Amino acid sequence: MKSAHKMVVLCAVVGAAMYLMFLAYSSSTAYDGGEYSLEMQPPLMDGPRGAVPATAPQSWVLPKDYPRVALDGGITGKTRFTVSVSPFGEVDECTITRPSGYPELDNRVCSAISTRAKFHPALDADDRPTEGTYSNTVVWTLD
């Protein structure tokens, strides 16, 4: 009985203490001194342009994606990635362009993004969907 109580308390403490903050860095990301925020402009849907997220980048990597070994070790880091986006707005390939230094974190980035990210495809000069790329950063933090 005593050990079950400790486990519940431990789970509650661990659950509250271990929080993943996914922040999509972009030119429009602002830091106001207390919280991070992401401001995204609506995509321009005509003329040549690159791939544009159709779903919020913050929804691509979730707290449940934080690897257990990283949580247990108090590991944090930043993982920069680039995805190739098909003319249908799907992730064709994900590449880590600047690793965090921890393969456990980096491997989760491409796995989660390849599953969850959706895009408006890039458009060529004739407004036809074409292949494109998108780059961003995942910031792994513990609170």
pLDDT confidence of residue 140:
94
What beta strand segments (E) does 6-57 contain?
A: 29-31, 36-38, 52-53
- Residue segments in the chain with a per-residue pLDDT below the cut of 70: 1-47
pTM of the model: 0.67
CA nearest 93: which of 56, 124, 51?
Answer: 51
Can you give the pLDDT at residue 143?
77
How many Å apart are CA 57 and CA 55, to the nearest integer?
A: 6
pLDDT at 106: 95
Separation between Cα atoms, residue 79 and residue 108, nearest integer Å: 10
Q: What is the pLDDT of residue 49?
A: 87
- Residue 72 confidence (pLDDT): 93
